[in-house]
Amino acid sequence: MSDIRTIFERPLPATRNGAFFNTFSYPTKISPESIAIYIVATTRPGETVLDTFSGSGSTGIAALLCEHPTERMKELAGDLGIDPVWGPRNAIGYEIGTYGSFAAKTISSRLKANEFKKAVTDFVGKAGEQLMHYYSAVDPDGKTGIIRYIIWSEILLCPYCGEEISFFERGTRRNPVIFEKDIICPHCRKKTSVDEMKFQTEEYMDGLTGKSEIRKKRLPSWVYGTTNGKNWDRPATNEDLEKAAAIEREMQDLNDLPKEIQWGELHRNGYHFGISYLHQFYTARNYLIMRKLWDAANTYSPKVKDALRLLLLSYNASHCTLMTRVVAKKNAKDFVLTGAQSGVLYISKLPVEKNIILGLERKSKPFYEAYKLLENCTGDYLIKNKSSEKLDEEENTIDFVFTDPPFGDFIPYAEVNQINELWLEKTTDRKREIIISASQNKGISDYQAMLSKVFSEIKRVLKDSSYAAVVFHAAKAQIWSAFENSVSDAGLNVELTNILDKKQASFKQVVSEASVQGDPLLLLSKKIQKEGEIEDEEDIMERIILSMEEENNFDERRVYSLYVNECLRKSIHVTYDAKDAYILIRQLRKDVMDAALQG
């Protein structure tokens, strides 16, 4: 217990980089190297770790890495003052999500890194020979080059004269890049707020559904390419538009069936207008390329085929669909290209069509590094694509649990991941997904009941002297209450608390006015908890504020996380939502500073 107490004395950094983190994106993904420190501090070589919400497999990978620790793991252990016994650990992961379990199985398959590298070279080489002509374009000098990416533009309607307006042409500027809040119509010269302008629609023949459909009208606007190693960019031409239309007609000959999107909380009438099927999330060119590449992976051995398909999926949702976008950075001369926003299915007014073939080889590098780190690991890692409400394991057989449950209504994982799962032709069973969701008719009580079953199972299989580390994040008091109740109903107790200090917040953690910095990390045990001291919630917040002021590192979001930790450690119910807590925290801080000034 001494090592685990040591590492719970200060926040453990969980950086959003490294080979494993950079292989593929996954909501609320945690660095395996950070998790590994908790595993080596609580287990011995040969023991078994359980993750009941394994996501993309970070806990299992962490257990495997304990045999061959990375330099980062050794550095973290040294910084924390522990001297762990490195060696192979075994892991069991339960994951209801199809994509997460596929990703975990594939990345931990012990595929030899050089075999993967050779296959990628062959795969991308053949793709270039057979498919790159779809990305050919004439450069500004009249030579044939290759498209790197194209900015498409939503077409808007002037509310005064009804004429069409390209958002790219009239709503943006370059050098420096600016997104205009108002647009002056080039036809009637009237000014209108962009937010008040309706989008234009168009009727088209959908090659996969075989029906006439209606969608938002979007047109190629600016083309970025390369010719013999020299990059260029230019406005889109009629030739570019004609080629895009020709590829769309080619969709009718594609041997594929439309795959229906199952919408839930993430659907928006505006930017999702006309999107009912998977292929409608793509330009015709990029869907056709993805389909051909997906089929081409079939020609390889089963293990390599899965690795190539995971590589494709790692690039797919972030870079292949209309969710890819450009942003404006201060004083930038040109738009900055970026991937899809994590945890949502947002499509901007300027979606980007990237060259998938060029992107794959670059994307394969962190995969090669990941396979290299794992190829000689001998621990067992069993991934089960099923609910953890009922575990297969016998009583008192698990040596340590590290898990990261869904955070209430924070992210609808199945809805987000279907962009990848529909390619795998098996989507997540949403009936067993443990989230709060109006579209699934699951409220806070349903969430608590399902979570209670999981924690009860954790208690059943956990050895009496062992621990469960649980990462949890919420900005709403009622979700914290559901979490507290599910833990206590299962007969588990909070032994220690800490903060998992993510170096970069997720999109939702950054933009929300009720965001929380640092995910509380709780160490649970089966021991009977002693009666804790009673302390008022406001006193807890004030004590944390004083401590932060002394160290000159005040952050109200961190205050909230630490306040939650203290409440859980002392069995005090969390009654403040983050939004309400921040109002109180600001007032308490003002009082603290006023008192300090008065002497």
Query: Is 365 a domain residue?
Result: no
28 or 581: which leads in pLDDT? 581
- How much is the pLDDT for 12? 74
Q: Which of 485, 514, 529 is the last residue of a domain?
A: 529
Judgement on whether residues 201 and 323 belong to the same structural domain of the protein: yes
Q: How many percent of the chain have pLDDT more than 90?
A: 78
Judgement on whether residues 492 and 391 belong to the same structural domain of the protein: yes
Judgement on whether residues 292 and 403 belong to the same structural domain of the protein: no
- How much is the pLDDT for 107? 96
What is the total count of domains within the chain? 3
Rounded average pLDDT over 33-62: 95
Rounded CA gap, 434 and 447, in Å? 6
Contact 487, 526 (CB under 8 A): no
Judgement on whether residues 60 and 133 belong to the same structural domain of the protein: no
Q: Which of 469, 595, 373, 336 is nearest to 5 (CA)?
A: 469
Rounded CA gap, 322 and 346, in Å? 9
Contact 402, 85 (CB under 8 A): no
Q: Which of 95, 9, 84 is nearest to 58 (CA)?
A: 95
180-224, pLDDT tens digit by residue? 999 999 999 999 999 999 999 999 999 999 999 999 999 999 999
Q: Which of 167, 41, 174, 71 is nearest to 469 (CA)?
A: 41
Q: Which of 325, 359, 393 is the last residue of a domain?
A: 359
Q: How many CB atoms are closer than 10 A to CB 449? A: 16
- How much is the pLDDT for 2? 62
Rounded average pLDDT over 341-363: 95
CATH number assigned to the domain comprising residue 39: 3.40.50.150
Judgement on whether residues 504 and 437 belong to the same structural domain of the protein: yes
Q: Which residues of 517-539 are buried (b: 16+ CB within 10 A; e: fewer)?
A: bbbbbbbbbbeeeeeeeeeebee
pLDDT band at 283 (very low <50, low <70, confident <90, very high): very high
- How much is the pLDDT for 52? 98
Q: Which of 497, 529, 561 is the last residue of a domain?
A: 529
Judgement on whether residues 292 and 230 belong to the same structural domain of the protein: yes
Query: Is 364 a domain residue?
Result: no
Judgement on whether residues 390 and 477 belong to the same structural domain of the protein: yes
Rounded average pLDDT over 479-504: 87
Could you say which DSSP state residue 529 is in? P
Query: Is 107 a domain residue?
Result: no
Dig out the tokens for 84 from the structure.
């762990």
H or E stretch at 275:
none
Residues 6+ apart with CB under 8 A from 54: 60, 93, 94, 95, 100, 101, 104, 383, 403
Query: Is 105 a domain residue?
Result: no
Judgement on whether residues 423 and 470 belong to the same structural domain of the protein: yes
219-253, pLDDT tens digit by residue? 999 999 999 999 999 999 999 999 999 999 999 99
Contact 398, 461 (CB under 8 A): yes
- How much is the pLDDT for 506? 39
515 or 81: which leads in pLDDT? 81
- How much is the pLDDT for 8? 82
Rounded average pLDDT over 242-266: 96
Rounded average pLDDT over 316-343: 93
Contact 437, 369 (CB under 8 A): no
pLDDT above 50 (res 571):
yes
381-434, pLDDT tens digit by residue? 999 999 999 999 999 999 999 999 999 998 999 999 999 999 999 999 999 999
Query: Is 137 a domain residue?
Result: yes
Q: Which residues pair with 166 in a beta bridge?
A: 155
Query: Is 371 a domain residue?
Result: no
Strand, helix or coil at 77?
Answer: helix
CA dist 445 to 85, 221, 502, Å?
42, 49, 29
503 or 157: which leads in pLDDT? 157
Contact 524, 468 (CB under 8 A): yes
508-567, pLDDT tens digit by residue? 333 344 444 578 899 999 987 666 567 899 999 999 998 888 778 888 888 998 889 888
Query: Is 419 a domain residue?
Result: yes
pLDDT above 70 (res 502):
no
372 or 503: which leads in pLDDT? 372
Q: Judge if the upstream peptide bond of residue 140 is cis by omega within 30 degrees of 0.
A: no
Note down the domain range covering 438.
Answer: 2-98+377-529
- How much is the pLDDT for 16? 64
The string of DSSP codes covering 455-477 is HHHHHHHEEEEEEEEEE---S-H
The string of DSSP codes covering 400-428 is EEEE----TTS--HHHHHHHHHHHHT---
Contact 560, 544 (CB under 8 A): no
Judgement on whether residues 510 and 587 belong to the same structural domain of the protein: no
H or E stretch at 17:
none
Query: Is 104 a domain residue?
Result: no
Could you say which DSSP state residue 320 is in? I
Rounded CA gap, 541 and 199, in Å? 48
Rounded average pLDDT over 22-46: 88
Judgement on whether residues 196 and 135 belong to the same structural domain of the protein: yes
Contact 263, 281 (CB under 8 A): no
Q: How many percent of the chain have pLDDT more than 70?
A: 95
**Bridge pairing between strands 352-354 and 48-51:** unpaired
Rounded average pLDDT over 108-112: 97
Contact 102, 73 (CB under 8 A): no
Rounded average pLDDT over 467-474: 93
Rounded average pLDDT over 34-50: 95
Judgement on whether residues 471 and 507 belong to the same structural domain of the protein: yes
Judgement on whether residues 207 and 326 belong to the same structural domain of the protein: yes
